[in-house]
Amino acid sequence: MTAHSSKDPLHGITLEQLLNKLVEHYGWSGLAERIRINCFSSDPSIKSSLKFLRRTPWARKQVEDLYISTVSDNPWHRGRD
């Protein structure tokens, strides 16, 4: 069998996984510097951030774009997740 390969860089990655990787890589303060939304700067948590991002398409897009650029800049992340 051949594995399905999607051209979507977010294929198979949940929003929670994506956010956890960004927090691990940048920390909450680093995320707040890159994406100016209160859920990253004021008492941040995964749960509250997920709730906000799921309801706010423009913020979710910014987070997804940051994840894609972070992964594409780091060859150690390619093919892993």
Domain holding 38: CATH number?
1.10.720.30
Average pLDDT, the chain: 86
CA dist list (Å): 20 to 2, 4, 5, 12, 24: 30, 25, 24, 15, 6
Quote the number of domains for the chain. 1
Confidence of residue 80 (pLDDT cuts 50, 70, 90): very low
Can you give the C-alpha Rg of the chain in angstroms? 13
Q: How far apart are CA 54 and CA 66, in angstroms?
A: 16
State both tokens at 18.
Answer: 């994506």
pTM above 0.95, yes or no: no
| Percent of the chain predicted with pLDDT > 70 | 81
Residue ranges making up the domain that contains 55: 15-73
Is 55 among the domain residues?
yes
Q: For 2-23, what is each residue's pLDDT tens digit? A: 555 677 788 889 999 999 999 9
Q: Is residue 80 part of a domain?
A: no
Q: Does residue 5 sit within a domain?
A: no
